[in-house]
Amino acid sequence: MDKTAFPPQGLYYDGAVQRATSGKTFQTVDPATASALASVDIASSSDIDHAVVSAQRAFSSWSKTPIPARARILLKAVEILRLRNDEIARIETLDTGKAFSETSTVDVITGADVLEYYAGLISGGGLNGETTQLREDAWVYTKKAPLGVCAGIGAWNYPIQIALWKSAPCLAAGNTMVYKPSEFTPLHGLVLAQIYTEAGLPPGVFNVVHGAGDVGAHLTTHPGIAKVSFTGQVATGKKVAGSAAGSMKYVTMELGGKSPLIVLPDADLESAVDGAMLANFFSTGQVCTNGTRVFVPATLKSDFESLLLSKMKYIRAGPTMDANTNYGPLSSATHYEKVVNYIRHGIEQDRATLLYGGPDPPASLDSSVRNGYWVAPTVFTDCTDNMKIVQEEIFGPVMSILTYDTVDEAVRRANDTPLGLAAGVFTRDINLAHRIIDRLDAGITWINSWGESPAEMPVGGWKMSGLGVENGRRGIEAWVRNKSTLVDMGGKIATVFTKL
């Protein structure tokens, strides 16, 4: 595919591509080379209104579509996604800079898995209510009703996956959606909308608008929107949640983290090192759940670092479509500057020991992609809890190694953060692992693993890391509202208003 050959990217509503009325566009670029990929229309307020009206019109019929019929359409979309996996993965690689070895095996597949999961869940009674017999002649029954038109605001690091994580339970529950991709990685938006249409989704059920934060803000405050689902950084999430709360909208917020990975003294060292590398350098560190604070027993520090350094050569930067490449650039020029500034701060102000990497591109990088937003995988050691690189989310390939003396100390320091998205423990003692996991303030946790998030697993953050969960059985509850009805069949109304 010629990476300069993408046509202009319009909006999508009423079941078709629409040109924006704003007359404004932005360019999306390939982060590996900094070359332009496509011109993207910016939605005006009027365009957003049109998309919301389209979704409102579709809601009345989609919400009443029998569950088996809804499920069949979603399963058809799953089939198309899987048939076109490599094609879509190439688009994701060009737009995000992630290696094709990753996008072709993770991004589309895990998104399709969630769509398939929710089609199966509603087919198997996942939207059923409950009945309770109060007395012989009185019953209570509950019903799960869809919310209406929902807004999905996507993130740039896993575009197609996050779009599916939001739209799958939304549509399965009978809602309609207006979706805004990140302005840094927008190319998946029309692809997904057209796949849904090809699968049989009626016009207006899934709509796409493009733009930056002002477009998202208009969606968030729009009176026709019943719910906002947002994935992104904490500061923006707080604004979105506050704005949505002002008009009593439902919200799901999947925000950032500064997650601890605790290596216990009895851990298998190779597994712990492999886990730490996965938790810091997969997807070039641009993963919200990354375990960037690696707590290692002081007695194991030397061995851990030696083994880690011996494995860093297996991180292979290069042309992103090369099957051997497993490490790409950062997603944009803006993000590149942010990450490089953190690395320089770690060296110059925090005075942490730079064990590996630094602010320069990987030394082995192919000259054909050196114009992109590349930074070397970086490891700091001799870190302390008060360092900026330890306290703040960098969202890049930067590992901080901290040592501890006792497990209680490690747990206390791990929890000493306003964030609580993820955490993990590496140990041979599974009973101890469960006890420690129970003490960690995080909504997503792993034992002797890191990062896997299957469709069946509800995920969401604690503290400032989010509200609500995505995926799993609990995930569908975020897209419905409950209606309870009491039916009295006794034939008489008990009343205090009687003649004395």
Would you name the residues annotated as active-site residues?
A: 254
Residue 247: closest CA among 225, 266, 231: 225
Map tokens 């860093």 to a residue.
312
- Identify whether the C-beta of residue 229 lies closer than 8 Å to the C-beta of residue 216: no
